[in-house]
A and B are shown apart, each in its own frame.
Chain A
Amino acid sequence: MTFLKVSDLEVEFCVDKKKITPIEQVSFEMKKGEVLGMVGETGSGKSLTAHAIMGLSSLVGGKIRGRVQFGDKDLLSLSEREMQSIRGSQIAFIPQNPMTSLDPVYRVGDQIVEGLYKHRKISKRAAKLKALEIMEKLQIPKANHVFQQYPHQLSGGLKQRIVIAIGLCTSPQLLIADEPTTALDVTVQAQIMRLFLKMTKDKGIGLLLITHDLGVIAQVSDKIAVMYAGNIVEFGPIKTVFNTPHHPYTKALLNCIPTIGMKKGTLDAIYGNVPTVGNYPPGCRYQPRCPDRFAPCGTIVPKMTKLAEDTRVACHKYNGSKD
């Protein structure tokens, strides 16, 4: 059975009476317990994709189109009420910025318990014990004390762990983590990431990990989806994509990773900037920055082309080569 299959996901917003579609043609799938890494520069639509899967974009006035198959349900056809029973219960979310993602006037413990209490119909006491257990697993020192604290009394690292605990406490089947460690010091980043990944693996939770850290993706992901300007440009198993990247953007991105022993001054950068929403160029959106561009790139939007089982790329160079 399908675990998660996103097809032709599109989000449309209305800004100043002008319609913009920050993400379009987003398609990918995940198997149960798999880790999918989603990379892309700032503004490429990674977070929006995450929000759209959970149906959060429609709450802030966006229109979501396409299909999000989760198990045997199409999430986009569910009512808001039905979505509420899935959100936080079967699909959980870890937001980008732990500093501003907790309600400042409630104790953090109550904020962890809130979701548990709503979805699992357990007693307050049992919910608290469960929350404390997760907090201890996340190596929160003096969990009992932290449980009673307010967000402003905690350090960034602790707040991050609380936000992760909120995501993990209901043992969801799918966890969407939007750059779960970017707000932290590099020293704690690695530690928290490791803990967090171990917990998702132990529980068999499917993880959609959004990050711009290719190093993390390389270590933990089974598959990778590369996003550029609101589209997925390449999708495939992590080894295939890292060893033989197809899309010129993926290639360029991989060339931007510094390695030890590299000669000084040879680190690549991608020429130009990511186009902003509403100012996408015609045809392929990467075309103005692409070294390999040729005739159709400037006029025709490239479609996702299947190269092998599970490997797809949206680039005219590979159009019709296989499939």
Chain B
Amino acid sequence: MWIYILRRTLLLIPIFFIISVVVFSLIHLVPGDPIDSLLIPGSTAEDRVELTKAYGLDKSLPVQYCVWLQKFVTGDMGQSIIEKQPVKDMILYNMPFTIRLGVASLFVSFFLGVSLGIISSAAKNTFIDYISMIIALLGVTVPAFWLGLILMLIFSVMLGWFPVSGSGSLKTLFLPAVTVGMGGAGLIARITRVSMLEMYNKEFVLLLYAKGLSRSAIIIKHIFRNALMPVITIFGLRLGWILGGAVTIEIVFSRPGIGSMLLSALYRRDYPVVQASLVFLTMAVIIGAFIADLMYAYADPRVRDVYK
């Protein structure tokens, strides 16, 4: 098991290189450069050349990449061209907000999704099942930014229960977390339902009934445990995605975070910021998948034996 974890961790290194190359090339392929936003009106062509040289943007791409990479692996993420402060500080400042929102919305996704899924599978083809699945379907299909605005309208403006925006207390976290979490909740609810329905007719369930266990005990303790694998897959995917997925929501609720930082950096082609935050977000996706793999082993003893 430990060998497996070690192997997976080592595998992160080549993945990191591939990601960094892709991220680096993509951002430089986009037309425009940060110098445009730095030049004050009335600057000359010479100013432009000078600035480009000052930021090392006159060198060829491979050289720029090597310089960036060399600094990156030693922990120096460079200096923001626009904000004039170390990228590291910017990320360290914004990261807690994003992680807080991510974790909160994962909770919403998981608990809301799993409960809806269990309830609707237990009450298959009843009114309760239909209602739960309609909620799940809405969760998947309604765009997050729209849902965010509607929730804000109902709970903040009309009812006044939660603040419209901000990032201080737990109260401010509630609406954004629900907004981001709903999509995942919908997916997880549907997967949980289908995966559990497959289990109800398994032979081992008959023996559980024959042992005299109650239906609710069988559903929670046995059927849900057995139906967990596909749920973990989806959960793992959301785990990484949710940090990136919060981008629009951070803007809707005007919260600080990696998302809003990345977006403003993209507008102004602030290369070092974009590169660092994109690498951070993609690594989050991969680590999410990694965590899901470890959760498989936790959930299913057969998988555990394969890793041995």
Contact = CB atoms under 8 A, between A and B. Distances in A.
Given A84-B213, A85-B212, A86-B212, A102 B207 contact: yes
A153 B304 CA distance: 12
A96 B210 CA distance: 13
B302 A150 contact: yes
A95 B207 contact: yes
Interface stretch (A111-119, A202-210, A232-240): A111-119
B203 A97 contact: yes
B55 interface: no
A84 B216 CA distance: 12
Chain A interface category by residue count: 20 to 34
Given A105-B226, A105-B300, A150-B302, A100 B213 contact: no
Contacts of B92: none
Contacts of B202: 100
Interface centre among B207, B213, B299 (most CB of A within 10 A): B207
A93 B213 contact: no
Interface in B198-226: 201-204, 206-215, 222, 225-226
Contacts of B226: 103-105
B305 interface: yes
Interface string A71-96: 00000000011001111110011011
A166 B302 contact: no
Interface string A152-164: 1100000000010
Contacts of A102: 204, 207
A87 B207 CA distance: 10
A192 interface: no
Contact of B301 (A95, A100, A152, A163): A152
Nearest to A96: B203
Nearest to B202: A100
B295 to A, nearest CB: 13
B305 A152 contact: yes
Given A103-B226, A105-B300, A150-B302, A89 B212 contact: yes
A93 B210 contact: yes
Contacts of B300: 104-105
A54 B210 contact: yes
B204 A101 contact: yes
Contact of B212 (A59, A118, A152, A163): A118
Given A103-B226, A105-B225, A150-B302, A166 B207 contact: yes
9 contacts: A85-B212, A87-B210, A88-B211, A88-B212, A103-B222, A105-B226, A105-B299, A118-B212, A152-B301
Given A88-B210, A102-B207, A118-B211, 10 more contacts: A84-B214, A87-B209, A87-B210, A88-B211, A102-B204, A104-B204, A106-B222, A119-B212, A150-B302, A153-B305
Interface of A: 51, 54, 56, 59-60, 80-81, 84-89, 92-93, 95-97, 100-106, 114-115, 118-119, 150, 152-153, 163, 166
Question: Top 8 nearest A-B pairs by Cβ distance?
Answer: A88-B212, A93-B210, A87-B212, A88-B211, A115-B211, A150-B301, A100-B203, A101-B207
